[in-house]
């Protein structure tokens, strides 16, 4: 599966920080990538997965949400 730019950045940080496989950042990145490349997900679902990943990333990294 291909990775989006956001999920790639999140995974790189998770690897650097040696976060476990079941850490929220990794789980959210997997969900977002799966939704991005799935024909079964609609735009609202895709935006929802993106928002959850972005929020988790911002809470973890300290980067501003907006």
Structural domain contains residue 54: yes
Structural domain contains residue 66: no
State residue 4 phi and psi, 5-degree precision: -75, 165
Structural domain contains residue 31: yes
Burial class of residue 15, CB neighbours in 10 A (0-12, 13-18, 19+)? exposed
Structural domain contains residue 27: yes
Report how many domains make up the chain: 1
pLDDT surpassing 90 at residue 62: yes
Give the tokens for residue 53. Answer: 């990943």
Cα–Cα–Cα angle for 36, 26, 7, rounded to 5 degrees: 40
Q: What is the model's pLDDT at position 38?
A: 82
Q: What is the per-residue pLDDT across 6-30, written as a single tens digit (0 to 9) for each?
A: 999 999 999 999 999 999 999 999 9
**pTM for this model (two decimals):** 0.88
Q: What is the per-residue pLDDT across 31-55, written as a single tens digit (0 to 9) for each?
A: 999 988 887 778 899 999 999 999 9
Question: Domain range spanning residue 50?
Answer: 5-61
């Amino acid at each position: 599966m291909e990775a989006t730019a956001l999920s790639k950045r999140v995974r790189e940080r998770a690897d650097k920080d040696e976060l476990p496989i079941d850490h929220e950042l990794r789980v959210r990145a997997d969900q977002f990538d799966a939704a991005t490349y799935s024909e079964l997900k609609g735009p609202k679902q895709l935006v929802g997965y993106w928002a959850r990943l972005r929020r988790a990333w911002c809470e973890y990294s300290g980067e501003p949400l907006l």
